[in-house]
Amino acid sequence: MSSTSASFVQIKFDDLQFFENCGGGSFGSVYRARWISQDKEVAVKKLLKIEKEAEILSVLSHKNIIQFYGAVIEPPNYGIVTEYASAGSLFDYINSNKSEEMDMDHIMTWATDIAKGMHYLHMEAPVKVIHRDLKSRNVVIAADGVLKICDFGASRFHSHTTHMSLVGTFPWMAPEVIQSLPVSETCDTYSYGVVLWEMLTREVPFKGLEGLQVAWLVVEKNERLTIPSSCPRSFAELMHQCWDADSKKRPSFKQIISILESMSNDSNLPDQCNSFLHNKAEWRCEIEATLERLKKLERDLSFKEQELKERERRLKMWEQKLTEQSNTPLLPSFDICAWTEEDVFFWMQQLTRKGDTSGEMSVYASLFKEHHITGKQLLLLEEEDLKDMGIVSRGHIIHLKTAIEKLTHDYLNLFHFPPLIKDSAGAAEESIEKVVNLELVFGYHLKPGTGPK
């Protein structure tokens, strides 16, 4: 248990009455619940163990940050208890019919809410916090309409590290995050620009494209979301600034708040913005055209991307061969970070079925499902985590750890091939065509005859 456990309220598991599942955050499922002794409606994020998220939330206090009530630390029932936002996530609102009611005042208010919450995390909190997974799903709407930033499972205290592991969601991730390079708080600025784009367009970013395709387009091709030509200039400029490839050139949230205040004083902007919002049918085709172009670009892959697909095909053949000849389980998909609890359950069933002649390990597939283990969590499991889940057999722990380590190794090999680094020289060499010139010479050859003709 962390040494910070005494810094927050410890809530008994039996003091919570659980209702429906209302979403999934980083590394855990979220449920609506009732805190019985306080007669309070709350949200409970079930976790495999209490880690940094409770430590981070326990020191935060801001109206645009989800309010932290305490944590459940009774093994194996770990969880974080926060206020319940009855209006759901910003993502769900944007993609519902309710979003048709949005006008400039609505967008400006919510854009400011998010910016103030992020400014607090970066500059005013007891310690600087980089969220690392800011997106519309991680912004919730309170009953009074105020936006609150939540889900700090991927966050880091800035003083601990500036190096990114592979967390976050590709359409919202800055290029340096995708490449696992050292980052600053402006990686959150990039994500903020995507959320602002969502509110203005009421569209899903990079809809229809797979995560790795988005990563390749953003890093290798420097692609960004399409800003319709009729979008008010001040909004367009702000989004462009947020998405600058040079993280040092992106505005801080203090600067963003100042920009939003200046925009609020522009008497012409409301009419421009509301006209833009109400004429979506006219400019939506621009976004769709870009998506089609990007999909075509993905279909017309360069040699590197073709090689990646060929590698994936070979990996599948290799995996199938091993499955037939050994105890290697099939994978639900190669994007392990996107695995759901059901995918992990499927993988565990095969793992225990093929590697367990005694049948003793067959219970672990259900055990992993009971603890809501997703693919992202699976890759992070340590020996202590397995023990916390109730696995006591040393042999079984070694067997599971070996399988998970192999899975992690295969995933990292696949993800980092080919490297997402621009190599114009290499690309030029690859594009050289070999040409063979053939010269055909035609001539007349006369043989003198014996007669006059």
Q: What domains are defined for the chain?
A: 3-83 (3.30.200.20), 90-299 (1.10.510.10), 303-415 (1.10.150.50)
User: What burial class does residue 206 get, using C-beta atoms within 10 Å of its C-beta: 0-12 exposed, 13-18 middle, 19+ buried?
Assistant: buried
Query: What pTM was computed for the model?
Result: 0.67
Q: What is the largest CA-CA distance in the chain?
A: 128
Q: Is 14 a catalytic residue?
A: no
Band of the pLDDT at 329, cuts 50, 70, 90? low
Spatial separation of the C-alpha atoms in residues 407 and 208, rounded to whole Å: 27
Average pLDDT over residues 39-50: 89
Which pLDDT band holds residue 192 (cuts at 50, 70, 90)? very high
Say which residue, 401 or 38, is predicted with more confidence: 38
How far apart CA 314 and CA 307 sit, in angstroms, is: 10
Cβ(151)–Cβ(138) below 8 Å: yes
Residue with tokens 């290499």: 426
Q: What average pLDDT does range 353-376 have in this prediction?
A: 77
Q: Which pLDDT score is estimated for 438?
A: 57
Check: CB of residue 34 under 8 Å from CB of residue 106. Answer: no
- Write down the mean pLDDT value for the chain: 82
pLDDT of residue 255 exceeding 90? yes
pLDDT tier at 421, thresholds 50, 70, 90: very low
Structure tokens at 86: 């009855």
Half-sphere CA count of 30, side-chain side, radius 13 A: 21
Amino acid residing at 436: V
Bridging pattern class, strands 16-25 and 28-35 = antiparallel
Which residue type is seen at 308? L
- What residues are paired with 132 via a beta bridge? none
Look at residue 160 in the predicted model and tell me its pLDDT: 41
The pLDDT tens digits for 307-327 are 776 777 777 776 666 555 445
pLDDT per position as a tens digit, 261-291? 999 999 999 999 999 999 999 999 999 999 9
Which of 77, 58, 74, 75 shows the shortest CA–CA distance to 66? 58
Residue pLDDT, tens place only, 373-403: 998 888 888 888 888 888 888 888 888 888 8
Q: Which of 14, 92, 133, 271 is catalytic?
A: 133
State the pLDDT at residue 75: 86
**């989004």: which residue's tokens?**
239
Residue 155 has pLDDT above 80, yes or no: no
**d(Cα 105, Cα 429) in Å, to the nearest integer?**
53
pLDDT at 163: 42
- pLDDT, mean of residues 361-372: 84
pLDDT of residue 331: 61
Torsion of CA 262, 99, 103, 187, to 10 degrees: 10
Residue 330 has pLDDT above 90, yes or no: no
Per-residue pLDDT at 93 exceeds 60: yes
Under the banding of pLDDT at 50, 70 and 90, the label for residue 427 is: very low
What's the confidence (pLDDT) of residue 130? 92
pLDDT above 60 (res 428): no
Q: What is the pLDDT of residue 425?
A: 46
pLDDT for the residue 144: 95
Stronger pLDDT, 173 or 52, i.e. the higher one: 173
Position with higher pLDDT, 265 vs 437: 265
| Model confidence band, residue 301 (pLDDT cutoffs 50, 70, 90) | low
> Has residue 419 got a pLDDT over 60?
no
Q: What is the pLDDT of residue 441?
A: 54
Q: SS3 for the chain, per residue?
A: CCHHHHHCCECCHHHEEEEEEEEEECCEEEEEEEEHHHCEEEEEEEECCCCHHHHHHCCCCCCCECCEEEEEEECCEEEEEEECCCCCEHHHHHCCHHHHHCCHHHHHHHHHHHHHHHHHHHHHCCCCEECCCCCHHHEEECCCCCEEECCCCCCEECCCCCECCCCCCHHHCCHHHHCCCECCCHHHHHHHHHHHHHHHHCCCCCCCCCHHHHHHHHHHCCCCCCCCCCCCHHHHHHHHHHCCCCHHHCCCHHHHHHHHHHHHCCCCHHHHHHHHHHCHHHHHHHHHHHHHHHHHHHHCCCHHHHHHHHHHHHHHHHHHHHHHHCCCCCCCCCCHHHCCHHHHHHHHHHHHHHHCCCCHHHHHHHHHHHCCCCHHHHCCCCHHHHHHCCCCCHHHHHHHHHHHHHHHHHHHHHHCCCCCCCCHHHHHHHCCCCCCCCCCCCCCCCCCCCCCC
**Does residue 74 carry a pLDDT above 80?**
yes
Parallel, antiparallel or unpaired: strands 156-157 and 68-74: unpaired
pLDDT-above-70 percentage for the chain? 76
| pLDDT band, very low/low/confident/very high, at 356 (cuts 50, 70, 90) | low
Higher-pLDDT residue of 110, 169: 110
110 vs 1, higher pLDDT: 110
